Amino acid sequence: MVYSPRVLRATRIRLALALALPLAVAAPAQAAERATAEQQAANLELGTRLVNRFWSLLVAGDPDDLRAFLSPAFQVQRANGSGQNRNQYLASFANSTTVISDFALSKLRVTHAGGVLVARYVSQTTQTISGTPYSAAPAPRIATFVQTPKGWRMTSNANFNAP
């Protein structure tokens, strides 16, 4: 069977489209996956930095630095059901006999949308309460942060340790 140049050209065009179409569809999808992976890595780095900052401020024990990091809307929720707003938390922090000397973070998971970041993680601390040293068991936590013109501020922190 002999095909005309017109039929051959149409066949070549169809074949080229059949080969090119999957590539055209796959390339943007792969680029989006790379961008998503890069964004997730950046979010994890930011979340790690913010959670470490909070715990570092607790270890340092300076209520003024902690006040600057906590949003005026800050709240803490504890596993035993108690909670405090920012002013209550700072007052108890300033008058506390608890000293956190070390902390370790693990299992950090971060979501970030717009100016809000949520970090879910596990913390383990070494602390002294009224002169007695304790090594606390790992405790799951969740913290939220909001981006303001003055930088990131912590808006909430919750401890899901068994009471």
pLDDT averaged over every residue in the chain: 83
pLDDT at 4: 62
| CA gap 60, 102 in Å, rounded | 10
pLDDT at 100: 85
Do residues 154 and 141 touch, judged by C-beta distance below 8 A?
no
What CATH number should be reported for the domain holding residue 59? 3.10.450.50
Q: From residue 113, give the alpha-carbon distance in Å to each of 52, 93, 97, 145.
A: 20, 30, 37, 11
Arithmetic mean of pLDDT, 31-35: 50
CA dihedral for 21, 24, 30, 36, sign (positive or negative) = negative
Domains held by the chain: number: 1
> Which residues span the domain enclosing 63?
5-159
Among 54-68, 89-103, 123-137, the range scoring the smallest mean pLDDT is 123-137
pLDDT at 32: 44
| CA gap 149, 130 in Å, rounded | 39
Closest CA to 136 of 146, 120, 125: 125
Per-residue b or e along 139-159, where b marks 16 or more CB atoms closer than 10 Å to that residue's CB = eebebbbbeeeeebbbbbbbb
Do residues 123 and 96 touch, judged by C-beta distance below 8 A?
no
| CA gap 101, 47 in Å, rounded | 22
pLDDT at 102: 86
- The 10s digit of each residue's pLDDT in 5-31 is 665 566 666 655 555 555 555 555 454
